[in-house]
Amino acid sequence: MSLWPVYTGTSEPHDGIAELPAPPPWRDFDGGPELATPAEDDDSSAASPDRRHRARTYRPTDRAVQLVNAALYLRRPLLVSGPPGSGKSSLAYAVARELRLGPVLRWNITSRTTLHDGLYQYDPLSRLYAAGQAAAREAAPDDRVPPGGELQDHLRLGPLGTALLPYGRPRALLIDEIDKCDLDLPNDLLNILEEGQYEIPELVRAARHTPSAEVMVDGTDERAEVARGRVRCRAFPFVVLTSNGEREFPPAFLRRCVRLELHQPRGAQLERIVRAHLGEPDGYARELIDRFLSRGTDGELATDQLLNAIYLTGAAGIDAASRDELAEQLMPYLSRTGDEPDAF
């Protein structure tokens, strides 16, 4: 029986990831001890309503389904490019929900982001303060002075560092807007994503006295054991890197990624998206869909602009002339091919 595709794009959660075939020999990781993947269902307070909704309603193209599965089988990052509003980040949440990969770990990239930010954060000043508090507690042993913390109490793994823990099934990691990073980050990521492991120098130095540390992980108050300051994955995470196409990446980085380019949905796919979010479109909603498609030839529009217009013009209960004007104001061009004023 064929296991392809593991990710189907139907938005129905299942455990198909447990039946994923063994990785290629050059992508086989053996980190341990194995950790259980944290669970998250649709009612989890850990996920915002927006993210839960996007995960349930995302409707991928056939090409997106094929390339998500290619990334899962090959244990490679998925580089997703496309214009704003094309569903790049929503894809990570949809895959995590269907395959029960737990809460999505999200790393938002800026021009100042470094690899260290994604791996872990260590606060030496808070540790110094805790040491002073510990000394005060020894001088006056009572409950009013909090106990001092160990090194591990002042270190938290970042989203990338957490994703590379030895979980039994892949974690989903969203590295959002990678094209905003400085020139060095893609190259810095190469070795980490290729080797599936990293070191925490502060814990490596302390390993002689403390060979194992329970460190905090990204997004929760949970802790994970790190032995001798080294982290190695067991199941390579499902990594989605999103790009708006604003820059070029080094060939060495690109060849290590499965690449997916998304476009603004058109025709039947756009109607499927509207139906998933807002139910069966009525006559006016279909008219707005047609206007949205025709206007899209003159400038860049995003699907969420159409969804906002359909929802608000239906919910506001206003007359036809006013709702046309309102819909037009909700769908301004994100970019223009000409200088003509917006008009239907």
8 A C-beta contact, residue 211 and residue 277: no
213 sits in which H/E element: strand 212-216
- Res 140: pLDDT: 58
56 and 81 housed in the same domain: yes
Query: How confident is the model over 242-247, as a mean pLDDT?
Result: 90
pLDDT in tens, 163-207: 999 999 999 999 999 999 998 999 999 999 999 999 999 999 988
**Please, what's the b/e burial string for 109-132 (b: 16 or more CB within 10 A of its CB; e: otherwise)?**
beeebebebbbbebeeeebeebee
Six-digit token pair at 69?
A: 């599965």
**Domain ranges, residue 154:** 16-123+150-261
Q: Which of 1-10, 164-173, 238-247, 281-290 has the lowest mean pLDDT?
A: 1-10
Task: Report how far residue 295's alpha carbon sits from residue 280's, in angstroms, rounded to the nearest whole number.
Answer: 22
Contact 229, 202 (CB under 8 A): yes
Running DSSP on this structure, what letter comes out for residue 261? Answer: E
Instruction: Tell me, yes or no, whether 220 and 118 share the same domain.
Output: yes
Last residue of a domain, one of 207, 226, 261: 261
> Is the same domain home to 282 and 244?
no
Is the confidence at residue 147, as pLDDT, over 60?
Answer: no
Q: Are residues 40 and 163 in the same domain?
A: yes
Whether 315 shows a pLDDT value over 90: the answer reads: no
pTM of the model: 0.87
* 136 within a domain of the structure (yes/no): no
Handedness of CA 52, 56, 61, 66 (dihedral sign): positive
The C-alpha atoms of residue 168 and residue 173 are separated, in whole angstroms, by: 15
Do 185 and 166 sit in the same domain of this protein? yes
Least confident window among 7-16, 222-231, 316-325: 316-325
Same domain, 81 and 22: yes
81 with 97, same domain?
Answer: yes
User: CA of 61: how far to CAs of 72, 152, 213, 227, in Å?
Assistant: 17, 44, 44, 42
Name the 3-class secondary structure at 199.
strand
Could you identify the residue written with the tokens 């194995």? 34
Minimum mean pLDDT range among 41-50, 220-229, 261-270: 41-50
Instruction: Give yes or no for a contact between 90 and 58, defined as CB atoms under 8 angstroms apart.
Output: yes
Q: What percent of the chain has pLDDT over 70?
A: 87
- Give the containing element (helix H, strand E) for 176: strand 172-176
The CATH number assigned to the domain holding 115 equals 3.40.50.300
Q: Is residue 98 part of a domain?
A: yes
Question: Tens digit of pLDDT for each residue in 31-52?
Answer: 999 999 888 654 444 567 878 8
**% pLDDT > 90, the chain:** 61
Domain boundary among 243, 261, 279: 261
Q: Name the domain boundary from 212, 240, 261.
A: 261
pLDDT of residue 16: 93
Higher pLDDT among residues 245 and 92, named by residue? 92
Q: Are residues 81 and 159 in the same domain?
A: yes
Residues 230 and 84 occupy one common structural domain: yes
Mean pLDDT across the chain: 87
Number of separate domains in the chain? 2
Residue 61 has pLDDT above 90, yes or no: yes
Assigned domain for 79 exists? yes
Whole-angstrom distance, CA of residue 318 vs CA of residue 313: 7
Tokens of 230: 């080294």
pLDDT band at 12 (very low <50, low <70, confident <90, very high): very high
Do 300 and 211 lie in one domain? The reply is no
